[in-house]
Chains A and B, each alone.
Chain A
Amino acid sequence: MKVDVESLIENYFEGVSYDEMFQDNRGVKDTWKNLYETLKSLGTEELISRQKEIDWNLAENGITYNVYNDPNGLNRPWSLNLVPFIMHKNEWNKVEKGLQQRATLLDLVVKDIYGDRQLLKKGIIPHEVVFGHRGFLRQCDGIEINTHKYLSVYAADLSRGPDGRMWVVNDRAQAPSGMGYSLENRTIAGRVLPNIYRNIHVNGQDQFFNDFNKLLVNAAPANKTNPTVVVLTPGPHNETYFEHAYLASYYGFPLVRGSDLVVRDGKLWMKSLKALKQVDVVYRRVDDVFVDPLELREDSYLGVAGLLDVVRRKNVSILNPIGVGIIENSGLIPFMPAIAKYFLGEKLILPQIATWWCGQKKELDHVLSDISKLVIKRIDKSNRESIVFTEFLNEKELEALKDKIKSRPHLYVAQEKIKFSTVPNLVKGKLEPRNMVCRAFTIAKDKGYTVMSGGLVRVSSTKENVRVSNQRGGTSKDFCIIDESSIKGKVPRVGNTNTTVVAAGLNDLPSLTAENLYWAGRYIGRALVTSRHLRMVLNQMVNNEEVINLDQNTKLSILLRSVTQLTNTYPGFVGDEKEPAVSNLKDELISVIVDQDKVGSLAHTLSMFSNSYYSIRNLWSTDMWRVFDSIHQIWDPIINEDIKLLSYKKLIKVLDKLITRLIAFMGLIEESILVDQGLLLYFIGLNLERVILNVSNFQSMLTVVTEDYIEYEILEAMLHSHESLNIYRYSYRSYININSVISLILLDTKYARSLTYLVRRLKKDIAHLPHSKVKGALQDYEKPIFEAFSKLRLASVTDLVDVSEENRYLRYKLNKLLTELNVLLYATSKAISDTYFNHVDDQSQLSRQKFS
């Protein structure tokens, strides 16, 4: 189907001055012709469906971008528009040279600033531009680093200026983001739009990502051959956490947080499951001032105390080195031509946005008199929030801004207001123009720099919006370089060709990852056992939505009490010292399921489960994302629904679906994560939780002696909750009785759900932990589980069903056994935490100083 050209670009030209695809006469530029023709030939419907496919792929792969201060912002899907931004190789070659030149210059600038400061002494840069900038870290003065270059990774934001050339808008060096997103964009766009990419000869990015791997590995001190490289992330709440996890798993480097690392003996170590492992290279995504709470920001929990000293001793390489934030400095822009002349005797290849530094009298006067035509920035803050577009200010605000500038003129620059070029964006089947910013990535290679082919393009969220930022809800584009000489028909492919063997075993597993896996196991175990039990209770309650008198209904009384005992949501149906049991049964039962704020509720457990999974997302497979997403799709609407509208029937349906997906998810975990990657910890967590909860249920439901017909119903309910009714019927083919139930679900050694079986499995798994390998002796954390196993093996059914003389309603031996098991299981849990996870002690300052 051919698309009506008029409708594809209807209203496109309104208010557009310089467009990337269209010429002033509305003809399509040569470079874009192929793309435009391809888009047209696909047709509106197909375009919409391809865009949907992209969106789906992004969601399926869990590609997210967190937005701060937005309650719904965490893990928001990344947005990629179908229409790429393309540039011809002839133009790109010049940009590339310009970026290489700029990276070379900025590298020399950083070296000089932390070296002899000739640029300041010779007056090439005014001293305030450096000494007055927050990014100038005196602590880094004179530090020598292991790598030849100070600036290993450099990103520039580029926009097309009114003269039709690409201009530099921002320099990024501390922890530039976007490389991982570019890679994902290209991978997904290439998959969804193979025909488009085939028609336009896009250059690949493989070489760049291989170079980046080499850069990190070769940065190791003393040219160590098989160095340990880690990716340092601020954590799952960071806006680009997805990318940190993505790059870590792409290269097979451990993803760590500050608390995973420690400085001892002048070296940097990673806390791993077995012991401390020396770290040689840190690819950091934490900003300069947060990396060392000893020498830099005292209140930072994102870094490692003493790190700067390890750098000073040259025992670790940090990429980029700490202190490079000084070049994220709009105060440098006016002096860049002089710097280029001084260092290289060259002119700047890439033009920059016209900038006036207010620290000079003439410039200040110009800025103050023309302020309404300018954009005002602080030299050391480049985030969108600190950029002032004066056109939005009233008279009073303008005066206040002027006063601010006058009191500290050296902290401000003013920039020309520019209308940047627009690119076509596919919106609801039509092309609409959007302002764009490109981010290009440059990394050190050999004696010079190499540039990623293309990069990342971000466009504004609406036609009117001049600010382009993902933080403000913009969207992204693939940025492709067109090269007719590249092999025709080759679909761009990016794959990890990293051949370095990554020596990752269980011993080297970062202890935080191990802990997260352990808790992931515990929460999914809790979610599963709790949902099954709640489903059983709901099924028993479904015919009793009206008021029930629990005093007259022993069965429901026992079942409801077991819910409170299982979920630890006292007073609940049991009551405690302070409060009696609740009277509104339905409200309580529903809140135990859907109230996220109630600790222990199913909703609470599921949210803890989600959190623990996000923190280990680098280990996930795509299928896991899909299932995880479907869990949220069925669960999220329920917790947001009005409690009054929820019926038992509706909740049963939801629990049915939830249970199926949880089981699917568990199956995927088992086949997607290697034992060496920490699956063992997951299993220990999972089975420990199942065992603990089973013991609770057994104690609630099996230790009480009731009339025969009630006991029958309770036992049947127990088997339902335990998902063992079919097995029971198959094994015993008899009327359900307590002896057989205990035999099957407590003592059977072959049945995979029985307590004895699970405890033996736990004992075996725990014996595989790194510290367990001492011959001839059990470790402290192995002892309680060993004792639990022995107690179960020594127990006999005839003993356990015994009723004492004093209390004919209690199976006291069973009760005693279960109580003892409970103690031993908690001891196991505590001993494992103490041995493997708790070497993370609280970090605090000697004298609590607060500086900002």
Chain B
Amino acid sequence: MDFLITHITEYSYSEEVVFCHNIATIKPRQSPGQELLEYHVEIDPTPTEFSERKDFFGNNLTRFSIQKAHKKLAVTSTCKISRDYTAIKNSFNSEKCTKVTLVSALDSLNGNTKDNFEPKQFILDSILIKNNKANIKEYALESFKPNRSVFEATKELMQRIFIDFNFVSGFTNVSTPLDVVMEEKKGVCQDFAQIGIACLRSVGLPARYISGYIETLPPPGKPKLIGADASHAWFAVYIPGFGWVDFDPTNNKIPENQHIVVGWGRDYYDVPPLKGVVYSSGSSKLSVSVDIKSLNTTTNQVQSQSQ
């Protein structure tokens, strides 16, 4: 499937910003089953400096600075993505994936192999997911049993997060500690992704955070509203001998073509869509809009999104 994605981030400032340095993680990275056909970013006011590079995890970073006074910053990225994930999703049903038990996974992670080396860093604590209380592990252990398939257990974990946690926007922000999310059982997609990651790491499995977009479909018979789509986040688990498998606990769904990957890291901290340091004495207001347009004529896709 081909998509045209328009992602607009706007900051309005109460006082003039004299100058600013920013880093954006908005250009979709190379990712299995996904191809970036076109990409364009527009920044207003026009930056004095602009550069792109790849970070430690292979994500595309965009760096810019604006050296003239401004009261509004708008970053608009448009990209054309072709996504064909069906074959990959089907491969999750293979024995190579489903037969790996927790015991055998931990066993093979214990050794040092060429394939293990990169994923193993995703077992360790990260900046936003660390020093978690015992209740995370207890929660995880309900699904993870030594001789159970890691794939099955993770799928169940995803399901349980979907059932046990309430989607409440505005309750959390990027700095809300994971313990609060676990305690209150509410939050948004990035909180659910991070809960999943914390659970997987608590039993010794590598887990990473994926930042991207999801196409939302309008209720039957209603026109689709522009900008109604959203930035999204989910998690992936590493199954030794097979590879990474994505899970979306917000929608209780193993991602397929409607999930578009932008970047991944250990948690949100590694892939914030836009961050920066501004020099100003005032406050700022943020607004974000994402619009995903399917470019295929046959759009009669089944979408079982329940939220």
Assembly CA distance A128 to B48 (angstroms): 40
The digit string for B256-286, where 1 denotes a CB below 8 A from any CB of A, is: 0000000000000110101111111100101
Which residues of A486-503 are within 8 A (CB) of B? none
Asked whether A131 and B56 contact (CB < 8 A) given A846-B274, A846-B276, A847-B286, the answer is: no
The digit string for B62-74, where 1 denotes a CB below 8 A from any CB of A, is: 0101010000000
**Min CB distance, B207 to chain A, in Å?**
14
Q: Which of these binds chain A: B17-25, B96-104, B295-303?
A: B17-25
A120 near B117: Cβ-Cβ < 8 Å: yes
B22 near A846: Cβ-Cβ < 8 Å: yes
Q: Which chain A residues border B278 with CB–CB below 8 Å?
A: 843-846
B21 near A842: Cβ-Cβ < 8 Å: no
Q: Which chain B residues border A305 with CB–CB below 8 Å?
A: 21, 277
Which residues of A816-845 are within 8 A (CB) of B? 841-845
Considering only CB atoms, which chain B residue lies closest to A313 in the complex?
B51
Q: Which chain A residues border B11 with CB–CB below 8 Å?
A: 846
B277 near A846: Cβ-Cβ < 8 Å: yes
The digit string for A307-345, where 1 denotes a CB below 8 A from any CB of B, is: 001001000000000000000000000000000000000
A845 near B276: Cβ-Cβ < 8 Å: yes
Assembly CA distance A263 to B286 (angstroms): 25
A265 near B48: Cβ-Cβ < 8 Å: yes
Which residues of B98-151 are within 8 A (CB) of A? 112, 114, 117, 120-121, 124-125, 127-128
Q: Which chain A residues border B23 with CB–CB below 8 Å?
A: 294-295
Is B164 engaged at the interface, CB distance under 8 Å to the other chain? no
Asked whether A294 and B55 contact (CB < 8 A) given A264-B65, A266-B49, A841-B281, the answer is: no
Is A784 engaged at the interface, CB distance under 8 Å to the other chain? no
Which residues of B153-172 are within 8 A (CB) of A? none
The digit string for A106-128, where 1 denotes a CB below 8 A from any CB of B, is: 00000000000000110100111
**Min CB distance, A527 to chain B, in Å?**
31
Which residues of A708-751 are within 8 A (CB) of B? none
B56 near A127: Cβ-Cβ < 8 Å: no
Is B94 engaged at the interface, CB distance under 8 Å to the other chain? no
A306 near B114: Cβ-Cβ < 8 Å: no
Specify which of A121, A132, A138, A849 is in contact with B56 (CB 8 Å cutoff). A138
Q: Which chain B residues border A120 with CB–CB below 8 Å?
A: 117
Q: Which chain A residues border B65 with CB–CB below 8 Å?
A: 263-264, 306
Is B175 engaged at the interface, CB distance under 8 Å to the other chain? yes
Is B225 engaged at the interface, CB distance under 8 Å to the other chain? no
B124 near A131: Cβ-Cβ < 8 Å: yes
Is A141 engaged at the interface, CB distance under 8 Å to the other chain? yes
Assembly CA distance A661 to B69 (angstroms): 48
Is A396 engaged at the interface, CB distance under 8 Å to the other chain? no
Main secondary structure of the interface of A (DSSP, over half): loop
B56 near A841: Cβ-Cβ < 8 Å: no
Q: Which chain A residues border B87 with CB–CB below 8 Å?
A: none
Is A392 engaged at the interface, CB distance under 8 Å to the other chain? no
Considering only CB atoms, which chain B residue lies closest to A852 in the complex?
B127
Considering only CB atoms, which chain A residue lies closest to B134 in the complex?
A407
**Min CB distance, A709 to chain B, in Å?**
55
Considering only CB atoms, which chain B residue lies closest to A130 in the complex?
B121
A841 near B280: Cβ-Cβ < 8 Å: yes
Considering only CB atoms, which chain A residue lies closest to B284 in the complex?
A846
A845 near B277: Cβ-Cβ < 8 Å: yes
Assembly CA distance A120 to B116 (angstroms): 11
Which residues of B14-65 are within 8 A (CB) of A? 18-23, 48-49, 51, 53, 55-57, 63, 65
**Min CB distance, B153 to chain A, in Å?**
21
Specify which of B18, B56, B275 is in contact with A847 (CB 8 Å cutoff). B275
Assembly CA distance A753 to B181 (angstroms): 69
Assembly CA distance A850 to B19 (angstroms): 22
B117 near A844: Cβ-Cβ < 8 Å: no
Assembly CA distance A298 to B174 (angstroms): 13
Assembly CA distance A123 to B112 (angstroms): 7
Q: Which chain A residues border B57 with CB–CB below 8 Å?
A: 138
Q: Which chain A residues border B120 with CB–CB below 8 Å?
A: 127-128, 131
Assembly CA distance A312 to B175 (angstroms): 29
Which residues of A402-421 are within 8 A (CB) of B? 408, 410
Q: Which chain B residues border A841 with CB–CB below 8 Å?
A: 18, 279-281
Q: Which chain A residues border B22 with CB–CB below 8 Å?
A: 294, 846
Assembly CA distance A121 to B117 (angstroms): 7
The digit string for A478-515, where 1 denotes a CB below 8 A from any CB of B, is: 00000000000000000000000000000000000000
Q: Which chain A residues border B269 with CB–CB below 8 Å?
A: 849, 851
Assembly CA distance A294 to B64 (angstroms): 11
Is A447 engaged at the interface, CB distance under 8 Å to the other chain? no
B277 near A843: Cβ-Cβ < 8 Å: yes
Q: Which chain A residues border B281 with CB–CB below 8 Å?
A: 841-842
Q: Which chain B residues border A843 with CB–CB below 8 Å?
A: 277-279
Q: Which chain B residues border A128 with CB–CB below 8 Å?
A: 120, 124
B279 near A846: Cβ-Cβ < 8 Å: no
Q: Which chain A residues border B67 with CB–CB below 8 Å?
A: 264-265
Q: Which chain A residues border B174 with CB–CB below 8 Å?
A: 847, 849
Q: Which chain A residues border B274 with CB–CB below 8 Å?
A: 846-847
A127 near B117: Cβ-Cβ < 8 Å: yes
**Min CB distance, A795 to chain B, in Å?**
40
Is A622 engaged at the interface, CB distance under 8 Å to the other chain? no
Assembly CA distance A212 to B259 (angstroms): 55
Q: Which chain A residues border B19 with CB–CB below 8 Å?
A: 264
Assembly CA distance A121 to B279 (angstroms): 42
Is A650 engaged at the interface, CB distance under 8 Å to the other chain? no
B21 near A851: Cβ-Cβ < 8 Å: no
Considering only CB atoms, which chain A residue lies closest to B17 in the complex?
A841
**Min CB distance, A259 to chain B, in Å?**
10
Asked whether A139 and B56 contact (CB < 8 A) given A123-B112, A841-B280, A844-B278, the answer is: yes
Considering only CB atoms, which chain B residue lies closest to A120 in the complex?
B117
**Min CB distance, A117 to chain B, in Å?**
8
> Which of B53, B121, B275, B277: most chain A CB closer than 10 A?
B277
Q: Which chain A residues border B48 with CB–CB below 8 Å?
A: 264-265
Asked whether A138 and B55 contact (CB < 8 A) given A264-B67, A306-B65, the answer is: yes
Is A848 engaged at the interface, CB distance under 8 Å to the other chain? yes
Q: Which chain B residues border A190 with CB–CB below 8 Å?
A: none
Assembly CA distance A30 to B117 (angstroms): 54
The digit string for A254-269, where 1 denotes a CB below 8 A from any CB of B, is: 0000000001111000
Q: Which chain B residues border A126 with CB–CB below 8 Å?
A: 112
Assembly CA distance A843 to B20 (angstroms): 9
Is A433 engaged at the interface, CB distance under 8 Å to the other chain? no
Q: Which chain A residues border B124 with CB–CB below 8 Å?
A: 128, 131-132, 410
B21 near A263: Cβ-Cβ < 8 Å: yes
Is A293 engaged at the interface, CB distance under 8 Å to the other chain? yes
Q: Which chain B residues border A132 with CB–CB below 8 Å?
A: 124-125
Assembly CA distance A123 to B111 (angstroms): 10
Considering only CB atoms, which chain B residue lies closest to A850 in the complex?
B175
Assembly CA distance A712 to B2 (angstroms): 95
B112 near A408: Cβ-Cβ < 8 Å: no
Considering only CB atoms, which chain A residue lies closest to B18 in the complex?
A841
Considering only CB atoms, which chain A residue lies closest to B20 in the complex?
A846
B277 near A851: Cβ-Cβ < 8 Å: no
B56 near A844: Cβ-Cβ < 8 Å: no
Considering only CB atoms, which chain A residue lies closest to B19 in the complex?
A264
Specify which of A266, A309, A845 is in contact with B275 (CB 8 Å cutoff). A845
Q: Which chain A residues border B275 with CB–CB below 8 Å?
A: 294, 298, 845-847, 849
B175 near A851: Cβ-Cβ < 8 Å: yes
Specify which of B21, B53, B175 is in contact with A294 (CB 8 Å cutoff). B21
A851 near B127: Cβ-Cβ < 8 Å: yes
5 tightest A-B contacts by CB? A138-B56, A305-B277, A841-B279, A131-B121, A846-B276
**18 extra interface residue pairs, beta carbon distance < 8 Å, beyond A128-B120, A847-B286:** A123-B112, A131-B124, A132-B125, A138-B55, A138-B57, A139-B55, A263-B65, A264-B65, A264-B67, A294-B22, A841-B18, A842-B279, A845-B277, A846-B11, A846-B22, A846-B275, A847-B174, A849-B174
A-B contact pairs, 13 of them (CB 8 A): A265-B49, A294-B21, A294-B22, A294-B276, A305-B21, A306-B65, A309-B63, A841-B279, A843-B278, A844-B278, A846-B22, A848-B175, A850-B175
